[in-house]
């Protein structure tokens, strides 16, 4: 029998990746805080991040946060909210120092300062040349961030509820305002349900790359948090913008950091030509990701791909030498050896774009408060990290700006959530707050239809790769929309095997697929509606950026059985949109 437990906290943080734990470190010393996470904290995908975290420390060459702001705005193809980008770049410096002071073992310069390296799109003086702005720890920067934040949570005695899946957000209307009273979670070990009554709730649930087949994302990145918010009728922003990282291991999607190109690696086509010279003469292989991914796909489409099927290009690191590879890029060197049997010291590595990062998500203001329309916040509800859209990344995120985002806005979310909880009262729980989750879980547990969860998920992933990836058209997106509608209908007729209470991962995969299907539809519908090309969203049928009609954020709302689309203005402070050339 499923049991229901009740808990009461000031602040509940959903997710224990970089954003969630950074928030917890801010909140726990001041307010009674719980972190609820479906994975053990150190399993979170922040640990997979490799290349670095940007901050204009100017430790190795001249740099300024203003240049960083400009690069972020331009990298995002001007769809960035410039007030937010300015906060990101300014607070970056403290964010790095915070992490170092907490114990993060950054690589060092000969003088013992934090070392920095080049990364795509980060330049000196508004695009003049690449600049060394990425602080890093070999190619394990995310691992070190995740470990350091976890260590500091242990130090502070932060309370974790590990392997608890949050499946519902509790909202109610009070005095004409939408307010939250907490969340409802499912405990993997026992199958029990837990109601968390809280004054503030922070969503930090990460991305949803698993809607694509070729992805750098973990199996568990299924967009649950974003999906929950969506099902509650709250809007999602800029969902059409998904980043395809140029260098995934061909056929596998496992990431090889852009830090490799930062250290000097070069992309080549079948004839050995350094093709990026043709497309981005100034910064070549360090152009932003959206541009490089498109060039790679184009090289392959025009018959210049390498390999027996001519279906990938090559990342050439051979001239870097064993020493640089072993000391600055040891993990990716090992990935290529282990998973492709290719030794980067001696041979170029087969690569192709891999679905990597969700620019869109839960709209928030710069205080990390969740918006229910273009301007109204929901008091006490916060979001930060990859699940959120502030928007500091616009239509294309620069490398090293996400580890930065999770630290800057994770910190803001935690601090503001605690401050809010100290002055607010608990909102009364709705009647039987667990009922929706109980119904969802019991229906799926008993499901015995003829459709298989894994089959539907695979069909979704294949369709998204084929029709909603680097290049999109009205026709491809319409096709994807129809396929998703069909998959959603078939999802209603799934059957699972495991009817047990304990560690029922079969049941949870079914629930996760539900979120993926919901979000894939939002991605595709938003993409169809944006009849221009900008950043990560490339329409073959509308190849140019169209500022007159589309210099606005997309806001998608769930409306009964359809999706309603609206727009939200972009905040422009200092930088007028210009053509994006590198």
Partner 1 sequence: MSDIAEVQSFTVTFIIRRFNPETDTEPYWQDFDVQMYSTDRVLDALHKIKWDVDGTLSFRRSCAHGICGSDAMRINGRNRLACKTLIKDLDISKPVYVEAIKGLPLEKDLIVDMEPFFAAYREINPFLQTSAKPEKEHIQSPEQRARFDDTTKCILCAACTTSCPVFWTDGQYFGPAAIVNAHRFIFDSRDEEAQVRLDILNSKEGVWRCRTTFNCSEACPRGIEVTKAIAEVKQAVLRGVR
| Residues near ligand FAD (CB under 6 A) | 14-20, 36-39, 44-46, 48-53, 141-142, 165-166, 204-206, 216-217, 224-225, 255, 257, 356-357, 385-387, 399-404, 406
Choose from ligand FAD, partner 1, none: what does 166 bind? Cβ within 5-8 Å by kind.
ligand FAD
Least Å distance, CB 21 to ligand FAD, is 8
Say which entry of partner 1, ligand FAD, none residue 103 contacts (CB below 5 to 8 A, set by partner kind). Answer: partner 1
- Whole-angstrom Cα distance, residue 283 to residue 303? 24
Q: How far is the CB of 540 from ligand FAD (least distance, A)?
A: 27
Minimum separation from the CB atom of position 557 to ligand FAD (A): 22
Contact between 184 and 161 under an 8 Å Cβ cutoff? The reply is no
Please report where in the chains the tokens 């990364």 appear, as a residue.
119
Does residue 133 contact residue 55 with C-beta atoms inside 8 Å? Answer: yes
Cβ neighbours for 420, distance < 8 A, ≥ 6 positions apart: 199, 200, 379, 380
Pick 22 or 528: Cβ nearer ligand FAD = 22
Angle, nearest 10°, between helix axes 141-156 and 82-102?
A: 70
Q: Phi, psi (5° rounding) for residue 276?
A: -65, -20
Judged by beta carbon, residue 43 or residue 232, the one nearer partner 1 is 43
Work out how close the CB of 454 gets to ligand FAD at its nearest, in angstroms, rounded to a whole number. 19
Residue 374 binding partner per list ligand FAD, partner 1, none, with a CB distance cut-off of 5 to 8 Å that depends on partner kind: none
Residues near partner 1 (CB under 8 A) are: 39-40, 42-45, 47-48, 96-97, 100-103, 105-114, 137, 140, 143-144, 147, 151-152, 154-155, 189, 218-220, 254, 307-309, 331, 335, 338-342, 347, 350, 452-455, 496-498, 500-506
**Residue whose CB is nearest to ligand FAD in the complex, by number:** 17
User: Which one of the listed residues 133, 289, 294, 580 is annotated catalytic?
Assistant: 289
- In the chain, what are the helix, strand and coil shares in percent, each to the nearest 5? 35, 25, 40
Query: Minimum distance between the CB of residue 233 and ligand FAD, rounded to whole angstroms?
Result: 18
CA distances from 577 to 206, 531, 548, 555, 571 (A): 29, 18, 11, 21, 12
For the four alpha carbons of 121, 126, 129 and 134, in that order, the dihedral sign comes to negative
| Residue 89 or 551 having the CB closest to partner 1 | 89
Residue 452 binding target from partner 1, ligand FAD, none, CB below 5 to 8 Å by type: partner 1
Residue 15's binding partner, choosing from ligand FAD, partner 1, none, with beta-carbon cut-off 5 to 8 A by kind? ligand FAD
Closest separation in Å from C-beta 139 to ligand FAD: 8
Which C-beta is closer to partner 1: that of 374 or that of 501?
501
> Of 409 and 550, which CB lies nearer to ligand FAD in the complex structure?
409
The option from ligand FAD, partner 1, none interacting with 403 (CB < 5 to 8 A, set by class) reads: ligand FAD
Q: Give, in order, the Cα–Cα distances in Å from 505 to each of 223, 528, 581.
A: 16, 34, 47
Beta carbons of 135 and 53 less than 8 angstroms apart: yes
CA angle 187, 384, 511 (to 5 degrees): 35
CB of 560 to partner 1, least distance (A): 32
CA distances from residue 334 to 260, 473, 558 in whole angstroms, order as listed? 13, 38, 44
Report which of 359, 16, 60, 46 is spatially closest to residue 205, judged by C-alpha positions. Answer: 16
The one of partner 1, ligand FAD, none whose footprint includes residue 19, by CB under 5 to 8 A per kind, is ligand FAD
Burial 448-480 (b: 16+ CB within 10 A, else e): eeeeebeebbebbbebbbebbbbbbeeebbebb
Q: Which does residue 508 bind out of partner 1, ligand FAD, none, counting CB within 5 to 8 angstroms by kind? A: none
| Residue 224 near which of ligand FAD, partner 1, none (CB within 5-8 Å, type-dependent) | ligand FAD
Beta strand pairing status for 177-187 and 193-203?
antiparallel
CB of 517 to partner 1, least distance (A): 17
Residues contacting residue 52 through CB under 8 Å, at least 6 positions apart: 116, 117, 119, 134, 135, 136, 141, 259, 262, 399, 400, 403
Q: What residue spans of 473-504 are helical by DSSP H?
A: 474-491
Is 289 a residue of the active site? yes
Smallest separation, CB 283 to partner 1 (Å)? 28
Q: How far is CA 408 from CA 96, 236, 404, in A?
A: 10, 21, 6
From the list ligand FAD, partner 1, none, partner contacted by residue 113 (C-beta under 5 to 8 A by kind): partner 1
Q: Dihedrals φ, ψ of 102, to 5°?
A: -75, -10
Tell me the closest approach of the beta carbon of residue 244 to partner 1, in angstroms: 18
Alpha helices in 206-319 (DSSP H): 224-231, 259-262, 276-279, 289-301
**HSE (side-chain half, CA atoms, 13 Å) at 31:** 29
CA distance 387 to 406: 10
How does 208-225 read in b/e, with b if 16+ C-beta sit within 10 Å?
Answer: bbbbbbbbbbbebbbbbb
Provide the annotated active-site residues.
Answer: 289
């Amino acid at each position: 029998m499923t049991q229901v437990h009740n808990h009461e906290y000031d602040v509940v943080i959903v997710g224990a990746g970089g954003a969630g734990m950074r928030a917890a470190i801010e909140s726990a010393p001041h307010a009674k805080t719980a972190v609820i996470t479906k994975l053990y904290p150190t399993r979170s995908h922040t640990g997979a991040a490799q290349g670095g975290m940007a901050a204009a420390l100017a430790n190795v060459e001249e740099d300024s946060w203003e240049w960083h702001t400009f690069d972020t705005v331009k990298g995002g193809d001007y769809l960035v909210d410039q007030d937010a980008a300015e906060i990101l770049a300014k607070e970056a410096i403290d964010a790095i120092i915070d992490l170092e002071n907490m114990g993060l073992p950054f690589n060092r310069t000969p003088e013992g300062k934090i070392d920095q390296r080049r990364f795509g799109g980060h330049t000196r003086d508004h695009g003049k040349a690449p600049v060394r702005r990425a602080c890093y720890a070999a190619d394990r920067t995310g691992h070190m961030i995740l470990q350091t934040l976890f260590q500091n949570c242990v130090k502070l005695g932060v309370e974790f509820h590990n392997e608890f899946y949050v499946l519902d957000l509790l909202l109610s209307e009070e005095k004409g305002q939408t307010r939250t009273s907490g969340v409802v979670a499912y405990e993997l070990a026992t199958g029990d349900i837990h109601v968390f009554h809280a004054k503030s709730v922070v969503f930090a649930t990460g991305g949803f790359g698993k809607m694509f087949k070729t992805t750098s994302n973990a199996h568990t990145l299924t967009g649950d948090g974003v999906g929950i918010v969506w099902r509650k009728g709250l809007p999602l922003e800029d969902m059409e913008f998904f980043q395809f990282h140029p260098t995934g291991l061909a056929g596998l999607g496992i990431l090889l950091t852009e830090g490799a190109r930062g250290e000097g690696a070069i992309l080549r086509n079948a004839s050995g030509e350094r093709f990026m010279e043709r497309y981005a003469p100034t910064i070549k292989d360090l152009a932003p990701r959206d541009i490089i991914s498109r060039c790679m796909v184009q090289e392959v489409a025009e018959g210049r791909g390498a390999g027996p099927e001519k279906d990938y290009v090559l990342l050439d690191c051979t001239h870097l030498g064993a020493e640089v590879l072993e000391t600055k890029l040891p993990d990716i060197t090992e990935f290529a050896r282990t998973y492709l049997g290719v030794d980067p010291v001696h041979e170029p590595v087969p690569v192709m774009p891999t679905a990597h990062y969700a620019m869109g998500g839960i709209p928030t203001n710069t205080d990390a408060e969740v918006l229910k329309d273009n301007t109204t916040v929901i008091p006490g509800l916060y979001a930060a990290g990859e699940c959120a859209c502030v928007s500091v990344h616009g239509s294309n995120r620069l490398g090293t700006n996400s580890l930065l985002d999770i630290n800057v806005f994770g910190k803001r979310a935690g601090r503001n959530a605690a401050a809010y909880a100290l002055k607010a009262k608990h909102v009364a729980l709705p009647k039987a707050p667990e009922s929706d989750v109980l119904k969802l879980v019991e229906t799926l547990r008993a499901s015995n239809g003829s459709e298989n969860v894994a089959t539907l998920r695979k069909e979704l992933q294949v369709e998204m790769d084929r029709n909603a990836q680097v290049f999109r058209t009205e026709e491809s997106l319409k096709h994807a929309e129809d396929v998703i509608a069909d998959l959603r209908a078939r999802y209603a007729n799934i059957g699972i095997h495991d009817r047990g209470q304990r560690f029922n991962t079969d049941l949870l995969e079914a629930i996760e697929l539900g979120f993926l299907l919901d979000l894939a539809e939002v991605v595709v519908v938003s993409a169809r509606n944006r009849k221009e090309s900008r950043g990560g969203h490339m329409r073959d049928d509308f190849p140019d950026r169209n500022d007159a009609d589309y210099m606005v954020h997309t806001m998608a709302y769930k409306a009964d059985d359809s999706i309603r689309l609206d727009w939200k203005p972009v905040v422009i402070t200092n930088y007028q949109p210009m053509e994006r050339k590198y």
